[in-house]
Amino acid sequence: MFAPDDIRRWSDALAADPASLVYADLAEALRRQGDLEAAERIARRGVERHPLHAAGMIVLARVAEQRGDAAAAALWWERARHAEGRGAAALAATNGHGAPHHARRTSGAMRAIPRRPTPAGPIRAVSFRGDSPTPTFVASFGTPRPELVRSLVADADGLLLASPTASDDLPVLEAMAAAVAGVGDIAARAARHLGLGPWRAIVLETTGDALAIAPASEGALTVLSVARHVPPGRARALLRLAATRAAADGF
Amino acid sequence: MRFAERLDPLLAAPGVLCALVVAREDGIVVEGTGHVGVDTDAVAALAASLFERAAAAAEASDGGTPGFLHLEGEAGRLCVVPRGDLLLVTVAEPHANLGLLRLAMRRQADALGG
C-alpha cells in the first residue's frame, strides 16, 4: 500500500525531474485512488519518455482494465512483456542515477506481468479514447496488400494506436508512430498559411519505401510505408483507401 | 542566373503559383518568385520544415534517401524536391497537373546539380 504522503512526494519528485521513473509509482497510486484520467495521463507521458519502461505500461494496462477496455489492456500487457526484456537492461542502468528504491519496485512489477493471451497474428486495433474496443483496423482495411510494407494509425502524441502489421514488427511500428508525431501539425500549419485548405495527404517518395500520411481524427495520423516499386499514384490511392477505412473504424 | 533558369519553366506551367530554390538547412529563399499574394518566405520556411520532418519519419520506416514530397490540400498543393543542400519548392493550384509538375521539378532539380 502507499503511504498517505506518497502521492505528494512523487508529484514533487516528478516536478523536479520530469524524466524520473517515479512517474509509474505516482500513476499507480492515482489509479488505486480511482483517478483514472490522471493516472493514464501521467503514465502515457512517462511511457512516451521511457518507451522501454514496462512499469508505466502495466499501469496503463490496469487503467484500461478498470475502464473495461479489454483490447487496450491486452495491447498494453503485450507491450509491457515486450519491453520487459529490453527494459531490464535500461532499468539496471537507472540504479546508479538516484532511483534505486523505485528501480527495485519496478523490477518487482515487471516480474508480476501476467501471461495474458497474446492476440494471434496481427495487432488488433485499439482505441484509448472510449470505453469499448474499436473495430479492428486490419478488418476494415481488408486483405493484406503486397504493396504495403507497413501501415498504422498513430495518435497525436506519437503513440501507436493500431496496425494490421505483425506484432513482431512492433519496435519499427512504434518508431514510425513516434517519428510522424508533429508532421500533421506542420502540414496543417503549412496548408493554412499557404491557402491550401485542409490538408489531405503527404506522400514522400524515397529511394527506398515511400511514406504516405493522411490526417485522422483528434490529431491522429494514418501512416503507410509503401514498397519502392509502387507508382506514386498507387501510393496515394492506397493512402486514400486506408484513411477512409481508418475513419470508418473511428480513427 | 542559373537558379532562375531552373525556375522559369516551372512558373510557366499551368496552375503553378510559386517556384523557389530554398536552403534546406534553414528554409531561407535562395531564388524564386511567386504570383501576387504568395508569401514566398513562408512557403520556403514551411516547406523546409515539413520536408525535414517527413524525411526523418521516412528514415524511421527504413525509407531511403528522400525525393519528391507532395502535400495535398483541398485548395492547392505544395511540392518539394531536394537537391544537395537545396530544395526546389512549388505551390500550385489543385487543378495543376501533378504528374507533369513532378517530372518538371525532378528534371530542373537534376539540372541544379548538387
- To the nearest whole angstrom, how far is the Cα of B39 from the nearest Cα of chain A? 8
- pLDDT greater at residue A11 or residue A80: A11
pLDDT (0 to 100) of residue B15: 94
**Cross-chain residue pair A194–B59, CB shorter than 8 Å:** no
pLDDT (0 to 100) of residue A168: 55
Q: Which residue has the cell 520556403?
A: B44
- pLDDT greater at residue B74 or residue A12: B74
Highest mean pLDDT among A77-81, A86-90, A114-118, A175-179: A175-179
pLDDT (0 to 100) of residue A241: 86
pLDDT (0 to 100) of residue A89: 39
Percent of chain A predicted with pLDDT > 90: 17
CB atoms within 10 A of CB A74: 21
- To the nearest whole angstrom, how far is the Cα of B3 from the nearest Cα of chain A? 23
- pLDDT greater at residue A59 or residue A75: A59
A32 and A101 fall within a common domain: yes
pLDDT (0 to 100) of residue A246: 77
Among A194, A204, A207, whose Cβ lies nearest the Cβ of B91? A194
Contact at 8 Å (CB) between B44 and B20? yes
How many angstroms separate the CA atoms of A60 and A80, rounded? 10
A91 and A162 fall within a common domain: no
A238 closest CA partner among A160, A141, A165 = A141
How many angstroms separate the CA atoms of B76 and B60, rounded? 28
Cβ neighbours of residue A173 under 8 Å, at least 6 residues apart? A123, A150, A152, A160, A163, A165
**Cross-chain residue pair A198–B65, CB shorter than 8 Å:** no
Using 50, 70 and 90 to split pLDDT, how confident is the model at A126? very low
A92 and A14 fall within a common domain: yes
pLDDT (0 to 100) of residue A119: 35
pLDDT, one tens digit per residue, over A97-121 is: 333 333 333 333 333 344 443 333 3
Cell of A156: 497525436
CATH code for the domain of A47? 1.25.40.10
Task: List CB contacts (< 8 A) between B53 and chain A.
Answer: 182-183, 186
**Cross-chain residue pair B64–A209, CB shorter than 8 Å:** yes
A105 and A192 fall within a common domain: no
Q: Which residue has the cell 527506398?
A: A208
- pLDDT greater at residue A10 or residue B81: B81
pLDDT (0 to 100) of residue A17: 83
Highest mean pLDDT among A165-169, A203-207, B110-114: A203-207
Contact at 8 Å (CB) between A28 and A46? no
Partner B contacted by A208 (CB < 8 A): yes
**What pTM was estimated for this model as a whole?**
0.62
Contact at 8 Å (CB) between A222 and A203? no
Among B38, B58, B72, whose Cβ lies nearest the Cβ of A199? B72
pLDDT, one tens digit per residue, over A174-205 is: 888 999 988 999 999 999 989 999 999 999 99
Give the ipTM of the model, two decimals please.
Answer: 0.94
pLDDT, one tens digit per residue, over B6-34 is: 899 999 999 999 999 999 999 999 998 88
Residue B55 lies in domain: 2-112
Give CA torsion, residues A161, B70, B40, B46, to 10 deg. 20
Residue ranges of A 227-246 with Cβ closer than 8 A to chain B: 228, 232-233, 236
CATH code for the domain of B45? 3.30.450.30
Highest mean pLDDT among A123-137, A156-170, B78-92: B78-92
How many angstroms separate the CA atoms of A49 and A23, rounded? 10
- List the single residue in B with minimal CA-CA distance to A191: B73
Cβ neighbours of residue A182 under 8 Å, at least 6 residues apart? A158, B53
CATH code for the domain of A236? 3.30.450.30
SS3 content of chain B, % helix, strand, coil (to 5): 40, 30, 25
Q: Helix B2-11 and helix B98-112: axis angle, to 10°?
A: 170
Highest mean pLDDT among A159-173, A231-245, B96-110: B96-110
How many angstroms separate the CA atoms of A173 and B73, rounded? 26
User: Choosing among A204, A207, A225, which should be mutated to test the B contact, i.e. which has the most B CBs within 10 A?
Assistant: A204
- Is the pLDDT reported for residue A94 higher than 80? no
pLDDT (0 to 100) of residue A167: 55
A174 and A230 fall within a common domain: yes
Q: Rounded to a whole number, what is the distance in angstroms from the first to the last CA of chain A?
A: 38
Point out the domain boundary residue: A76, A93, A111: A111
> Cα-flanking dihedrals φ and ψ of residue A163, to 5°?
-165, 140
Cell of A161: 494506436
**Cross-chain residue pair A205–B69, CB shorter than 8 Å:** yes
Task: List CB contacts (< 8 A) between B47 and chain A.
Answer: 190
Partner A contacted by B73 (CB < 8 A): yes
Among A176, A197, A236, whose Cβ lies nearest the Cβ of B61? A176
Highest mean pLDDT among A104-118, A142-156, A166-180, B68-82: B68-82
Residue A235 lies in domain: 137-248
Strand partners, B86: B23, B83
A23 and A97 fall within a common domain: yes
How many angstroms separate the CA atoms of A172 and A168, rounded? 9
How many angstroms separate the CA atoms of B13 and A221, rounded? 32
Q: What is the tally of structural domains in chain B?
A: 1
What average pLDDT is seen over chain A? 74
Using 50, 70 and 90 to split pLDDT, how confident is the model at A83? low
Mean pLDDT score, B90-98: 95
pLDDT (0 to 100) of residue A19: 82
How many angstroms separate the CA atoms of B3 and B109, rounded? 10
Q: What is the tally of structural domains in chain A?
A: 2
Mean pLDDT score, A152-178: 81
Task: List CB contacts (< 8 A) between B74 and chain A.
Answer: 196-198, 200
Mean pLDDT score, A149-159: 88
Task: Order across the sheet with A148-154: list the strands.
Answer: A160-162, A148-154, A221-226, A210-215, A199-206, B66-73, B76-83, B86-92, B16-23, B29-34
Cα maximum dimension of chain B: 40
